[in-house]
Amino acid sequence: MRVGLVCPYSFDVPGGVQAHVSDLAEVLLEQGHEVSVLAPVSEPDSASPEPLPPWLVSAGGAVPVSYNGSVARVSFGPVVGLRVRRWLAEGHFDVVHLHEPVTPSIALIAMLTAEAPLVATFHTASLRSRALQAALPLVRPGLEKLSARIAVSEDARRRVVEHLGGDAVVVPNGVSVDRYAAAPVRQEWRGRPGAPVLLFLGRFEEPRKGFGVLAQALPALRAAHPGLRVLVAGRGDPRVAHELAGDHAECLEMLGSVSEADKASLLASADLYVAPQTAGESFGIVLVEAMSAGTPVLASALPAFSRVLDGGTLGELVPVGDPAALAEAAAALLDDDERRRAVAAAASRAVRRYDWSVVAHQVLTVYETVLSGVHGTAAALGEPGGDPAAGRLLAQWRGAEVLP
C-alpha cells in the first residue's frame, strides 16, 4: 500500500503529533508498505548537516503561531500550496492520512486539494476555539471529503462530534513499549536513600503544562524529603523555572531538550514521573511512555489522564491545579516502595494495549476498510474467519454513520 502521511507541525521541533507520525511511518515501512511523510521542516545545511529521513519530504520552513493554547510551528502560503500539490501528484497514494487537518497548515491544504481517499486523525481535545469556529465554513468542504476520521482519545472524539460534526473511531496514540522497557538506567538520574528523584517532562513555560503547580508543591515536598531532586527536561528558559520555584530552585536540575534515547532513560531512572498538567491534554502519551519504562506515574485528574491510568489503578491521580494534594500524594508514594512497585507492575502489563504492534494494526484496518468500502467482505465485518478488530472498528463507524 502507498501511504502519504501529512503532519502540520514542524519536524524541527519535537512534539507529540510529530512523534506519532514518525513512529507510524517507521512501523508501516517495517511492514512493507511504501510511505512518504510531508511536513514543515528546514532543509539541512552546513551548520546542521544531519540528513532528513528518506521518507520525509519538506514542505518548507515553518513560522510560529499561537494555536490551541500553545505555539505551533506551521507552514502556509502559495509556495507551500504548490509543494503540497506536487507531493500529492507525484505520490500516487492509495491513502492520504492527514493529522490535525483543521490546523492552519499543510494538512488543511492537502485536505482541500487531494483526490485520493482521505483519512484524518484528530489529536487535540480543546473544545473552545474562536479561530476554528470562524474558519469552519471554509474547511467544511474538506471535512466532507474525509472517508474516515480517527480520534486519539474519547476527549478528542468529543471535539470532533461537538465542533466539526460527524463522528470518529478512537485509535490511541502508539508507543514502542519494548524500547522504553529496555531503556538503560542512568546512575546520575537515579534516586538514592534520602534523595529521591522526580521527573517533569515538557514545555515548563506553558502554564497548562502545570510546572507552576509542581513548583508550589516543592515546599511541602522538600519538608518531607529534604534531599529531593527534580529533573526537568524540555524546552524553555531555565530562569523561568527558577523564578517559579523561588527558594526551592536549588533542587531543580534543568536538562533542556533531550533526545528520545535520553528521554527513555530518564523515565526508566526516576523514582516517580509527575504530570501536573492543568488543561489541553487529549491523551497523555508521556504517561504511557513512563508506564512502559516501568516508572510509577502521578498525574492530575484530567479526563484524558484518568482514562490512561484507568481511574487511578495504573497510577496516582490528584485534583487538577492542587499543589497541596500533589505534594501529599508524591511524598506518600516516595515513602512507599511497595506501592510504587505494585503500580508500576500493573501499568507495565496494561500498557501493551498502546504498543505500535496493536495500534498500527488498527490504523491499517481503517485504511483497508476505506479502500474496500463499508459494505466490504465478510472478513472485514469480523464474521467467521474474519478480523475481529476490523469488525469492531466497522461497527463503530456504522453506529456513527461516518462513512458513506
Q: Is 351 helix (H, G, I), strand (E, B) or coil?
A: helix
Amino acid 133: pLDDT: 60
Closest CA to 217 of 192, 248, 189: 248
What does the block give as the cell for 5?
A: 502521511
What whole-number distance in Å separates Cα of residue 127 and Cα of residue 25?
29
What whole-number distance in Å separates Cα of residue 351 and Cα of residue 314?
9
Residue 313 and residue 378 share a domain: no
In 10 A of CB 377, how many CB atoms?
A: 11
Calculate helix-pair angle for 337-350, 323-335, nearest 10 degrees.
Answer: 100
> For residues 48 and 159, which has the higher predicted lDDT (pLDDT)?
159
For residue range 183-229, list pLDDT tens digits in order.
999 999 999 999 999 999 999 999 999 999 999 999 999 999 999 99
Residue 390 and residue 259 share a domain: no
Q: What is the CATH number of the domain that holds 132?
A: 3.40.50.2000
Residue 94 and residue 222 share a domain: no
Residue 132 and residue 54 share a domain: yes
Residue 196 and residue 100 share a domain: no
Which residues on neighbouring strands pair with residue 175, listed in sequence order?
355
Residue 233 and residue 203 share a domain: yes
Residue 213 and residue 131 share a domain: no
Identify the domain containing residue 46 by its residue range: 2-174+356-400
Q: What is the CA 292 to chain-centroid distance, rounded?
A: 15
Residue 219 and residue 90 share a domain: no
Residue 346 and residue 230 share a domain: yes
- If one counts the domains in the chain, the total is 2
Residue 317 and residue 330 share a domain: yes
Residue 163 and residue 181 share a domain: no
For residue range 229-253, list pLDDT tens digits in order.
999 999 899 999 999 999 999 999 9
Exposure b/e, 278-303, CB count within 10 A at least 16 = b: bebbbbbbbbbbbbbbbbbbbbbbbe
Residue 330 and residue 200 share a domain: yes
For residue range 15-39, list pLDDT tens digits in order.
889 999 999 999 999 999 999 999 9
